[in-house]
Amino acid sequence: MTDNYQKTNSSRVTLSQLMLPSHSNFSGKIHGGYLLSLMDQIAFACGSKFSGLYCVTASVDRVDFLNPIEVGELVTLKASVNYVGNSSMVIGIRVDAQNIQTGKVTHCNSSYFTMIAKDAQGNNIRVPRLILTSKEDVLRYMKTIERLKLRHSYAELCTDFNGDIQQAINSITEKGDVKVQLS
């Protein structure tokens, strides 16, 4: 069987939205949950556009809110497929906010969503392979491999205590910076 190949630029999606008072939190900044919702939407659109299939969110790598977003700013999210597995796609997302009056653009966050392609019955289905056409594509692909390796090594470092509370307490208190006082 010959695999289907797609260029990364066939996955690119841009979404811009004006931030309204209804999107703000109690401190008057744009609510992080609202921004995460927009990021999930663009990850879905990007993965679906690339694969031609329905996609679901499998995981979200670290999301750091680097700079607050103000009401009245124009938020632009850009997404592209950086890496593909069998049925999974790692979608890179960049979020910028622009002050419309001054034109100043601020990078607010970057994140990586792993999306899984599904068939009509809800089963995982193979996605197209990637064609990398630029140095930037190659670097994004390699950085994703590094992040995936780190994620897997971290998972191996985590000890499974199988419900053994004493083993868990011993591990926690080894460092000496935590006390466990069970009642």
Q: In the chain, what are the domains?
A: 5-132 (3.10.129.10)
Structure confidence at residue 160 (pLDDT): 65
pLDDT attached to residue 25: 94
| Per-residue pLDDT, 157 | 63
pLDDT averaged over the chain? 92
pLDDT tens column, 113-156: 999 999 999 999 999 999 999 999 999 999 999 998 888 777 66
* C-beta of residue 69 within 8 angstroms of C-beta of residue 36: no
164 has pLDDT over 90: no
pLDDT tens for each residue of 3-51: 799 999 999 999 999 999 999 999 999 999 999 999 999 999 999 999 9
Tell which residue, 11, 3, 23, has the closest CA to residue 132.
11
Alpha helices in the chain (DSSP H): 32-51, 135-157, 165-173
